[in-house]
């Protein structure tokens, strides 16, 4: 009887050790997956706000400083009046750059196409620092430039 109890105790001990050995990589994998998902979500959020700002900017003439300020606010806050909290932590209007036919004439004014010349607008977020919540699994990183270029309507 004692042998049988000892055998069961050993089996429970082995199962506990195996569980402990597997728990660490499983937890790291879960945290890593979650954190990478959060990074992708942040990147997609920034990409969407840049597109919205570019669309807003494309509806107005080049060189309009009020519209450029609204586009920067739209890229950072999701609103044209710079109220609320940024769509991503640490995002500032200083990270947003805007090019249109007047600000970048060599690359955005009268660009030839098969159907004539067009003016372009570009909104980009540069050097956004993504801060990981679990930096021992996924380190902090800086996103590449997120930019959106489209044809200006006017």
| pTM exceeds 0.75, yes or no | yes
* Tokens matching residue 20: 């402990």
Residues 61 and 119: their CA atoms lie apart, in Å, by: 10
Counting residues of the chain whose pLDDT is more than 70, the rounded percentage is: 92
pLDDT band at 118 (very low <50, low <70, confident <90, very high): confident
Residue-wise pLDDT tens digits, 131-153: 999 888 889 999 999 999 999 87
Residue-wise pLDDT tens digits, 69-100: 999 999 999 999 999 999 999 999 999 999 99
Beta-bridge partner residues of 130: 141
Q: For the chain, what are the domain ranges?
A: 2-151
CA atoms within 13 A on the CB side of 103: 15
What was the pLDDT predicted at 135? 85
Do 150 and 54 form a contact (C-beta atoms < 8 A)? yes
Residues 62 and 140: their CA atoms lie apart, in Å, by: 37
């Amino acid at each position: 009887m004692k042998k049988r109890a000892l055998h069961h105790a050993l089996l429970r001990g082995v199962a506990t050790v195996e569980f402990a050995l597997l728990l660490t990589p499983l937890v790291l994998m879960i945290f890593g997956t979650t954190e990478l998902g959060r990074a992708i979500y942040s990147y997609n959020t920034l990409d969407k706000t840049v597109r919205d700002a570019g669309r807003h900017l494309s509806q107005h003439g080049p060189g309009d400083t009020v519209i450029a300020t609204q586009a920067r606010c739209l890229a950072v806050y999701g609103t044209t009046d710079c109220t609320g909290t940024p769509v991503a932590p640490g995002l500032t209007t200083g990270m947003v750059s805007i090019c249109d036919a007047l600000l970048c004439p060599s690359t955005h004014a009268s660009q030839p196409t098969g159907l004539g010349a067009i003016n372009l607008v570009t909104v980009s977020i540069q050097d956004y620092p993504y801060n990981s919540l679990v930096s021992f699994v996924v380190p902090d990183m800086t996103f590449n430039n997120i930019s959106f270029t489209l044809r200006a309507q006017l």
